[in-house]
Amino acid sequence: MTDTAIEITGLRKTYAGEKGSAPKAALTGVDLTIPAGSIFGLLGPNGAGKSTLINILAGLVTKTEGRVVIWGFDQDINPRQSRAAIGVMPQELNIDPFFTPRGALEVQAGLYGVPKSQRRTDEILDLIGLSDKAEAYARTLSGGMRRRLLLGKALVHRPQVLVLDEPTAGVDIELRQMLWANVRKLNAQGMTIILTTHYLEEAQEMCDQVAIINHGAVVVRDKTSALLDRLDAKTLLLKLETTPGQLDLPEDVTLEHRADGYIAITYRRGKVSAGEILAAVTRAGGQIVDVSSEEADLEDVFLALTSDKAA
């Protein structure tokens, strides 16, 4: 097993302009390494270049420049092996309505050259919860079932790397939970998962590491926990029985009276401790009856790195 699932160096993609318009640079020099065995989040605003990057990995779009290595296979030198190492669950529901789930998986396995003796159709149908719909026409399946079938099609050739492109867009809670259970199961078996999503709370919960793409380039790549530490703002929520007098708070600490009766005090953990703030409230005569805290989440990091001001 390789230590690196995907290695991307100097990746560029420029689309030709239409009707005399200037060429459009979708990727402007992406350098990215994705470790094997990880659940890796690939995030970015609409138009950032995520779809182009995924399509290049899948062999659907030809890169303009750069090097892509998937599971040790260079796309330019070993294109067949590199494509066999990756499975992609696309965002679009591209399913033939006249195939049954069993038929769709069998055809997909055939396209990848999987011998009939090595196909895992029944196993995959059970994994994605479609065993009871194995012989139903795809056109009769619900939207959630079709999305499960997309996952199954991506798994027929036993890829080492699985790309999930907005897998939970528009799905219900039950399907979302089933999908994440399957992702954790596959990852526990050694499969590397690459996830793109606009639901940042999912990325925060699921991903070991995250890369954020903006304007065709990687603006940050780090462990999820390290990214959250970049925004060290924290808010103490205090419920007081008695209103304090003038609070002598440290510099750069802000206070807000919320409609629910709590006082929100925001501070930087690197400069001020929660103990200093609580001591200041007590000195001013405030009697605390309840205390909780709020911390920055991945959405805060995302907005800080992809806003026009940050860009």
CATH number, domain with residue 30: 3.40.50.300
Q: Let me know whether 213 and 282 are in one domain.
A: no
Cβ-based neighbours of 41, under 8 Å, separated by 6 or more:
195, 196, 197, 203, 206, 207, 209, 210, 211, 224
Same-domain pairing of 166 and 118 = yes
User: What does the block give as tokens for 284?
Assistant: 């001013």
Please check whether residue 300 lies inside any domain of the structure: no
99 & 8 share domain: yes
- 50 part of a folded domain: yes
Q: Do the domain assignments include residue 311?
A: no
Same-domain status, 241 and 184? no
Last residue of a domain, one of 176, 196, 228: 228
pTM value > 0.85: no
Count the domains in the chain. 2
Q: Buried b / exposed e across 200-236, counting CB within 10 Å, b at 16+?
A: bebbbebbebbbbbbbbbbebbeebeebbeebeebbb
CATH of the domain at 278: 3.30.2350.10
Residues spanned by the domain of 176: 4-228
Give Dmax (Cα) for the chain: 78
Classify each residue of 107-121 as buried b or exposed e, where b means 16 or more C-beta atoms within 10 Å of its C-beta: ebbeeeebeeeebbb
69 lies in the same domain as 120: yes
Measured distance CA(227)–CA(28) in Å, rounded: 23
Q: What would the 3-class secondary structure string for 202-250 be? A: HHHHHCCEEEEEECCEEEEEEEHHHHHHHCCEEEEEEEEEECCCCCCCC
Q: Are residues 129 and 206 in the same domain?
A: yes
Residues 240 and 221 in one domain: no
Reported residue count of the chain is 311
Residue 309 pLDDT: 44
Q: Are residues 179 and 259 in the same domain?
A: no
Q: Do both 71 and 174 map to the same domain?
A: yes
Please indicate, yes or no, if residue 157 is contained in any of the structural domains.
Answer: yes
Instruction: Give the domain-ending residue among 171, 193, 228.
Output: 228
For the chain, count helices (H), then strands (E): 10, 14
Residue 298 · residue 201 · CB < 8 Å = yes
Per-residue confidence of the chain (311 residues) as pLDDT tens digits?
Answer: 579 999 999 999 999 888 778 899 999 999 999 999 999 999 988 888 999 999 999 999 999 999 999 999 999 999 999 999 999 999 888 888 889 999 999 999 999 999 999 999 999 999 999 999 999 998 899 888 898 999 999 999 999 999 999 888 777 788 888 889 999 999 999 999 999 988 888 888 899 999 999 889 998 898 988 887 766 677 888 888 876 777 777 777 888 888 888 888 887 776 788 888 888 888 888 888 888 877 667 777 777 777 654 44
Classify residue 246 as exposed, middle or buried by CB count within 10 Å of its CB (0-12, 13-18, 19+).
exposed
15 falls within a domain: yes
Residues 168 and 144 in one domain: yes
Asked whether residue 302 is domain-assigned, the answer is: no
- Are 95 and 168 members of one domain? yes
114 and 239 inside one domain? no
Residue 304 belongs to a domain:
no
In a domain, 306, yes or no: no
